[in-house]
Chains A and B, each alone.
Chain A
Amino acid sequence: MATPTITRPTPRTSTSEGIRRPRKKMTAGKIAALVVAAFIAVLWLIPFAWATATAFKTETDAAAPKVSWMPPSGFTAEAFVKVFQDGNIPLWTWNSFYTSAAITAITLVISALVAYALSRIDFKGKKVLMTVIIASIIIPPPVLIIPLFYQMLALNLIDTSWAIILPQVIHPAMVFVLKKFFDQIPRELEEAAVMDGASRVRIFTQIILPLSRPILAAVAIFVFIGAWNNFLWPFIATNDGALLTLPVGLQTIKSAYGIQYAQNMASALLAALPLILVFLFFQRQIIKGVATTGLAGT
């Protein structure tokens, strides 16, 4: 309905950047939006707040029948101390970190290489390869757990970090995201290098990769978060307590601590902390990364 008016002259185009939404009269509406947004934000923060309040209580207060934000015996860091003393949180965090880092590194390298070939090199069978990779996007990881477990048994990798890492490095959707980005890099940039006799590898590492930093970061963020939080596969691939990742390890404390609510919440918060901190520092990049890769990956 409003479309015909778009062709009207827009006299203030130069300032339109500053007034994205020209609605000065809408302050009342803006306040209403602010109130609703704040209400949702409070709802969304309650689970964090309640977990924090519980984690800083004594176990007796945490399990008191009268639910209260302010514990009668005051706040204490007892639960955290206890979790650090006899818990495995630091070990699990380290396991999660290095497996996720390895998964991210391998994924980036192999995906960028194949994406470059698909984007720039004319080779026999390219179309078929492309089709197969795109088609494989639809394979849901839960379908693979049974054969993969059997395969890991056969390869003798069960209860090693490799069992966690190797099956998680294939991200066909990310190959596609990278290829699309490479496609947009102007070819002229490479042609000069080709004249100088530069090899494919040199063009890839010295021209394409530096220009692709934003997309590489986006893919890395997406893959890292996914690997860090993955539960099902690491849960199947490891029984050895020394190898557990954070999400899997945390599952075991429920039975270990039982009704130690303060310690449960202290562990959960410690497990949540690393990525939340990373997010606080790299908020912009993470939001951009999720927005660019989100629609492609599942």
Chain B
Amino acid sequence: MSSSLASRRSTGQPDIATGIQPQPTRRPSRSRTRSNLSGWGFATPFLVFFLVFLVWPILYGLYMSLTGKSLTGANDSLIGFANYAEALADADMWRSLGNTLYFTVISTVPLVLVALVMAALLNVGLPAQWLWRLSYFAPYLLASTVVSLFFTWMYNPQLGLINDFLSKMGLPKVAWLNDPNVAMWAIVIATLWWTVGFNFLLYLAAMQNIPAQHYEAASLDGAGAWRQFFSITLPQLTPTTVMIVLLQILASLKIFDQVYQMTAGGPGGSTRPVVQYIFEAGFTGYRLGYSAAISYIFFGLIVLVSVMQFAVTRRRSA
């Protein structure tokens, strides 16, 4: 069938039946064709970048994960799901995935709660709003490397500000980044300082959108500030909280910069996140195929969380 079509085309034989058919639908909608053209015209610049730098790599990555491709150019052939099988049996992969999940859990809670407290404090109507905003949000404007330099210095076991403070308080010194039991917490503290300002701004904006009448009515009823916070502010903020928690989980799952810069994944792999494992499998181990397979396992995790997020947003807007 297809061959007959092809031969007809190649001979240039006019086909009256098919040539006429589209015309009735085409003629009354000249503007439709124009709309199609201008629509895709406006979309084209974005589409070009989108296809070349997002769609193609994501598909090619999937293909790579099924090959033995390496940076040394050894084996380009398809090897099926061997990379995935190897990854699923790789204790280091599981450990790095576990580290990422552990970081996500212990960072999300303070990153949301502290942001809420900061916003609630400001929302009381403190003077010099800009001063508080500046001090809470400014760290968010720093590059991860700056944050890592600041904190590596403060965590310095002998010369660091934090241990000096601890010993002045009569407390034992802590080997912040060198103790496998503490290192992840040290990274959480640095991350909290760095990015909480973002969640704080989102909370603050949401709080300022709560209609003042709610509070007026409540205070006419004699509800105090605490009462108002728990019976008006918090419930009104529920959709915001859900979104912030989910966005924070997605952001925390991508942890790499601070860890790589502060502990390089150590001590003894105790802080190495899965993104660092992807990075190392590819760029120190030169195993691009294997690295791509782990990328996709990680991607699966992100998709899972994103689908949850999508479900929640849909329910909220419905």
Contact = CB atoms under 8 A, between A and B. Distances in A.
B145 A2 contact: no
A37 B282 contact: no
A291 B205 contact: yes
Contacts of B66: none
Given A2-B231, A21-B212, A290-B198, A250 B38 contact: no
Given A5-B218, A124-B36, A290-B201, A140 B43 contact: no
Say which size band chain B's interface belongs to.
Answer: 35 or more
Given A271-B146, A290-B201, A110 B159 contact: no
A45 B135 contact: yes
Nearest to B295: A143
B131 to A, nearest CB: 7
Contact of B145 (A19, A136, A172, A271): A271
B221 A261 contact: no
A264 B147 CA distance: 12
Given A142-B254, A148-B57, A200 B261 contact: no
Contact of B64 (A26, A41, A147, A291): A147
B295 A123 contact: no
Contacts of B55: 136
Interface stretch (B1-9, B17-25, B87-95, B299-307): B299-307
A107 to B, nearest CB: 9
A37 B122 contact: yes
Contacts of A122: 32, 35, 39
Nearest to B150: A47
A1 interface: yes
A211 interface: no
A47 B193 contact: yes
B143 A228 contact: yes
B141 to A, nearest CB: 4
State the main secondary structure of chain A at its contact with B.
helix
A170 B54 CA distance: 8
Interface residues of A, number: 107
B57 A2 contact: no
B125 A126 contact: no
Contacts of B295: 142-143, 145-146
Given A298-B247, A298-B251, A34 B145 contact: no
Interface in A269-296: 271-272, 275-276, 279-280, 283, 287, 290-291, 294-295
B256 A50 contact: no
A73 interface: no
A220 interface: no
Contacts of B275: 142, 232
Nearest to B253: A140
Given A117-B39, A250-B149, A272-B146, A147 B292 contact: yes
A36 B302 CA distance: 36
A264 B149 contact: yes
Nearest to A150: B288
Interface string B128-149: 0011111111110111111001
A147 B278 CA distance: 12
Interface string B47-67: 101101111111011001000
A51 B49 contact: no
Contact of A140 (B42, B124, B298): B298
B225 A23 contact: yes
A207 interface: no
A12 B146 CA distance: 50
A295 B278 contact: no
A260 to B, nearest CB: 11
A265 interface: yes
Contact of A114 (B43, B126, B212): B43
A91 interface: no
Contact of B141 (A121, A147, A248, A275): A275
A6 B46 contact: no
B142 A16 contact: no
Interface in B232-286: 232, 240, 243, 247, 250-251, 253-254, 256-257, 261, 275, 278-279, 282-283
A54 B69 CA distance: 47
B229 to A, nearest CB: 11
Interface in B188-223: 193, 198, 201-202, 204-205, 212-221, 223
Interface of B: 32, 35-43, 45-47, 49-50, 52-58, 60-61, 64, 69, 117-118, 121-127, 130-139, 141-146, 149-154, 158-161, 164, 193, 198, 201-202, 204-205, 212-221, 223, 225, 231-232, 240, 243, 247, 250-251, 253-254, 256-257, 261, 275, 278-279, 282-283, 288, 291-292, 295-296, 298-299, 302-303, 306
7 contacts: A19-B212, A20-B215, A26-B225, A40-B117, A111-B46, A139-B58, A229-B142
Given A117-B38, A251-B261, A268-B146, 14 more contacts: A5-B217, A5-B221, A21-B123, A44-B138, A123-B35, A129-B43, A133-B50, A143-B295, A151-B57, A200-B42, A265-B153, A268-B150, A276-B138, A290-B198
